[in-house]
Chains A and B, each alone.
Chain A
Amino acid sequence: MLKLATLETESTDTGGFGSEYSSAANEQDPDFYWPPSSIPNAFSAAANEQDLVFRWSFSTFPYFAELDALNATPIEPHVLTQVKLRRALDRWVEQTQYESSLGVIKSHPSYAEVIDLGRTALVELLERLSAGDARVQWFPALKALAHTDPVPPHLRGKIRDMATAWVDWGRQQGLV
């Protein structure tokens, strides 16, 4: 333990800031030493398992160097875009799952986020369709991203068939 204000003596105490640590009476104060007795010392005996975990968390928490190194690791822009896109798609589906109105679905903020990501979003949606993840939300976004609609009129509303038409179009364009 570190004894605070050890250099202070009664003769040099001027009553200013920190002067309270200079008196011998304050040595009885539990906060006189650091760490104070209210925080368990890792070297003292643990009372129980919870106490042990509590001390372990104190002893391992300040890995700031590692955290700084992690934060300083450069992340490729396309990886960030992918993360942003997938979060937007997941949020969009989750928050519009009870909506039938395509107007409401398209007015969700995630729709604009997805459209902003352009070709990356187009490829991701086509890959999801190719993997069997066909959702109502995807189709207006695909039409806006691709500036075309490969779904023949007689298949409108038939989600599986629409997915197949889009995947075929994506293969023809070399996107999937």
Chain B
Amino acid sequence: MREQLESILQSAQDEILAAADMNQVNELRVKYLGKKGSVTALSKAMGTLSPQERPVVGELLSKVRGQVEKLISDKLQEFQSQLKQEKMKQETIDVTLNSKKLDMGGLHPLTKVYYEVRDIFVKMGFEVLSGPEVEYDKYNFEMLNIPKNHPARDMQDTFYVTEDIVLRTHTSPVQVRTMLSQKPPIRMICPGRTYRTDDVDATHSPIFNQIEGLVIGKNITFAHLKGTINTFLKELYGSDTKTKFRPGYFPFTEPSAEVDATCAMCKGKGCPACKGAGMIEVLGCGMVNPKVLKNCGIDPEEYSGFAFGLGLDRLTNIKYRISDIRYLYENDVRFLSQFR
């Protein structure tokens, strides 16, 4: 019987390893381990053995059965894994085909640059405020120390809606509104549309965008103004940016300054964008005129502050080297898609 078992194991091994497919393996399972299989037949014949032989042969029998079972399951697994490979091979795709994403749209370049500027100031503790585009003459001019028929009105050609209502010529009226409605300390910026009676050409637009800034507090000085503007410009244009403060004139600030920064295009070497100067004018600023503080109910003896204003359109054109301001308002998709 032992010899029989060994010869069954040998033939099972040969046949299973030689099986061509899963069906054959399953047939071999029946042939050896099935109800009428040869291993099963031998186990039924166990009864004919002597009590001494029985345990020895029994052990051998279950070992053979185990081995045959393992041979079968290994072979089956081999076929299954082959099948899986086969199937995946058939399912091969060209991974370089187009993805199914929805194309990106994009922000308008003015918005992109506005976000940059805004983020810098928000990080510096500025609140973002807004004000109306159609504004009282009083807020746009008079309370900013530009009375009716003041020569400074010639600096800003104004659209009038009534004698006392204008399209704001700058975002500075929001300074007035803020000071009238909030108590110091104030740190705010205000972006917005502004209007002047300029005909449209490559460098002029009757509608443009400014960002106004205002800081009011105790012991605020011109040195703080310089510190704030320098920090802003270094954040915007890079830490190696240099600035130049030149005395300037705005009726609502005193002292006033115009600020040049290292040309972002040429890093100060001189290029067409800065007309060879290496520096480019970027903003106007100054200490809030005490008359304006007084007009807005803030005591100039107790508080001081500074204000600044920058032209977003100009900043945008410089940043992206846009040659003609009209592109900004034509909204040609071929233009817009360049700023994704």
- Are both chains from one complex? no
